[in-house]
Structure 1
Amino acid sequence: MGYKLKVEDFNKGLSELSKKYKIYAPKIFEGQGRFSDTDIVRYGEISKVEEIEFDKKSAFSYKEVLLPITQTLFFFTEKEVKEPDVDEKSILVFLRSCDIHSLRRIDDIYLRNGFEDPYYKKLREKAKFVLIGCEKSFDNCFCVSMGSNKTEEYNAYVKQDGNDIYLDIKDEEFVDIFEKLNNEKLDVKPDFVEDNKVKVNIPDNLELKVMKSTMWNEYRERCIACGRCNFVCPTCTCFTMQDIFYKDNGKVGERRRVWASCHVDGYTDMAGGHSFRQDKGQRMRFKVLHKVHDYKKRWGYHMCVGCGRCDDICPEYISFSNCVNKLGKAMDEVNSNE
């Protein structure tokens, strides 16, 4: 169902939705950028459409809404264990097509990977999604190459044009709310990017023997193992566990799930001091092949959705898309060495 509303009427709809939902969208955080006196776009709670940033790509993905950076799984005492109470409100998230595609990847890992993670499931079942269209490609995006530039998997689509809001609503609950407001019914189609300046070519003959290529040596020197690429990525889902003991009673505390990264030192540490992939080039190799090779072998599509945030955030200007585009020559190298 398509509608055209004025901003003030759309905000009335958001106000009504906020009674049931916590509403998250990309917004500008003033003065909180990576450099002094700069702003940053990331996800936060909003109450009106004026807070939503439609024209810039968020530096961070939406995933921290469904996968909190630090999440308490349970509290413990000497005698009992108790899971934390879950917020009664549901979740409504405004996000772009590439991020909607990434949601499928997170579901694969947490719901369809041989088990269902109960902590993720509780939040996931409460979530609905509003699509933000992309009229143009942003810097470093290569969503078209990854097939994530278009989607039909949304509860509603929203576009702002001055004081006008255009909606395409698929969810009956949302229809009931916006139908009652002053609106004009019309056909609304989402804006999708058709072409990116950055293009990625994943070779058809890609095999794991590409691990033997010398191309990974470059990243041994360049990567500083900060993990920023993992933390902004909408499809990285790794975590570590922490048991926190309270100072006032050392026998009481909580177990937390905390984001972790295959790039960061200590991620593969094992009992006895053993560690895998201490070499930073090997870590880059592991991440790249997971995103564009291993995952597809299991699920039938690539893990990477081409949002380009990893390229945006890297302090060493390492380009994931350039790395992927080197795989063709890398395969030629290893084949010629056999």
Structure 2
Amino acid sequence: MAFSLNYQKIDDILAKLSSDYDIYAPVRLVGEGKFSATDRIQYDKITRAEQIVYNEKSDFSPREIISPITQTLFYFTENEFIENLPESRSIIIFARPCDINAFKRLDKIFLENGDFADSYYKSRRDKVHFALLDCKGGWESCFCVSMGTNKTSDYSLAVNFNSKTVEIEVNDSSFNKYFNDIKQCSYQYNFVKKNKIEVELPEIRPEQIEKISDLQIWQEYGQRCKSCGSCTAVCPSCSCFTTRDISYKENKKAGERRRVWASCLHPDFTEMAGGHSYRETAAARIRFRTLHKIYDYKKRFDTVNMCVGCGRCTDTCTQLISFATLLNRLSQEIKKLSVLEEGVEYVSKSSSS
């Protein structure tokens, strides 16, 4: 079923939903952008439709709603520990198809990992319902179609904001009760069919990995990358974290253990006792992240790629590194490598035109 509402009516429904759910959506934080006099669009709790930024891509993903940047796992003393109990309320997240698909990637890591399912992630993930936000055709840096993440069936509601009305498709019968006596309409969510950017995913054979790791492209991008980790902070499918024990000043024998986001691009991410690191250069780190997104994850779970093509890493990079361009260049380099292995000279489309 689908319904057409004015903004007053949608606010009435949001008020009813708020009594049962915590509702999160992209909101505008005025003056808090990365450049002077710019805004930042980030997920936060909302109670009114006017708070939702529906016609711009959010700078940050909704990942931190379920997997917080800093999360207390348990409290401890010298004799015992107490787990940090999960919140009890259910959650509605206004999200786009790429971000919903990103949660599916995180589910593989945190929930479908044999005997190592993450109870802290699960406690919040089980409470989530998605309200699918219309993408309005997508944005400059998006390449979700190439990644196959432009569509999803995992949503309870689908929402299209217009200047005076809001159209809502109800895909979960448990939400029907909130729309009693509302005028029905014929709205159906329109998934993006074509992005401005198209990405040709590299076809990587396991026996090629050693040669791919030595490609000059990594040194080229490594000279530009500053290892700041901004791309991993905004990525909806990144999952790296570290843990820290915090001792209280008033009682050194008591404290808490926290899980904190980490980044594979940070120089100290693989540092071990004695100062040795597995990936000491920016080139090695950007190579690891790239191959993890489009090869390692898929090989591990025998499923889709980890990257969902949201383009936020490109948007936030201070060195203007486009991940879509990197993938296209890598694809061309691997084609050259494959042809050379067969003893035939490779001529790219660009060089032959």
Shorter-chain TM-score above 0.5 = yes
Amino acid at match of 2:258: R
Residue matched to 1:122? 123
Which residue matches 1:312? 315
Shift of 1:11: 1.1
Structure 1 range deviating more: 219-228 or 64-73: 219-228
CA distance in 2, matches of 1:271, 1:333: 40
Q: Name the structure 2 match of 1:144.
A: 145
Which residue is 1:25 aligned to?
25
| Structure 2 stretches lacking a partner, 5+ long | 344-353
1:73 equivalent to 2:73? Answer: yes
Q: Is residue 325 from structure 1 mapped to residue 328 from structure 2 by the alignment? A: yes
Structure-1-length-normalised TM-score: 0.96
Distance 2:222 2:160 in 1: 44
Q: Distance in 2 between matches of 1:276 and 1:204?
A: 26
Deviation at 1:37, TM superposition (A): 2.1
Is the Cα–Cα contact under 8 Å of residues 86 and 120 in structure 2 kept in the other structure?
Answer: no
Say which SS state the counterpart of residue 22 (structure 1) adopts.
strand
Q: Secondary structure at the match of 2:313?
A: helix
- SS across alignment from 1:135: coil
Partner of 1:106: 106
Q: Secondary structure at the match of 1:226?
A: coil
Is the Cα–Cα contact under 8 Å of residues 267 and 281 in structure 2 kept in the other structure?
Answer: no
Spell out the pairing of 1:270-281 with structure 2 (5 A cutoff).
270-281=272-283
Deviation of residue 203 (structure 1)? Answer: 2.9
Q: Deviations over 1:78-122 (max 9, x none)?
A: 222011232222111000011111110010000002221000000
Q: After TM superposition, list the pairs within 5 Å mapping 1:214-293 onto structure 2.
A: 214-293=216-295
User: Is 1:96 aligned to residue 96 of structure 2?
Assistant: yes
The alpha-carbon distance between structure 1 residues 204 and 332, as it changes in their structure 2 partners (threshold 3 A), is: closer
Match of 2:306 among 303, 306, 313: 303
Q: TM-score, normalised by structure 2?
A: 0.92
Runs of 5+ unmatched residues, structure 1: none
Letter of the aligned partner of 1:316 in structure 2? Q
Alignment of 1:129-168 (within 5 A): 129-168=130-169
Partner in structure 2 of residue 55 of structure 1: 55
Tell me by how many angstroms 1:265 deviates.
1.6
Secondary structure, aligned partner of 2:245 = strand
Rounded to whole Å, the distance in 1 between the matches of 2:163 and 2:182 is: 16
Instruction: Report the alpha carbon displacement of residue 205 of structure 1 after superposing the two structures with TM.
Output: 4.6
What is the deviation of 1:156? Answer: 0.6
**RMSD between aligned alpha carbons?**
1.4
* 8 Å Cα contact 1:213-1:334 kept in structure 2: no
Letter in 2 for 1:6: N
SS at match of 2:153: coil
Residue 350 of structure 2 corresponds to: none
Contact 2:204 2:295 in 1 (8 A): no
State the shift of 1:270 in Å.
1.3
Q: Determine helix, strand or coil for the equivalent of 2:78.
A: coil
1:245: Cα distance to partner?
A: 0.5
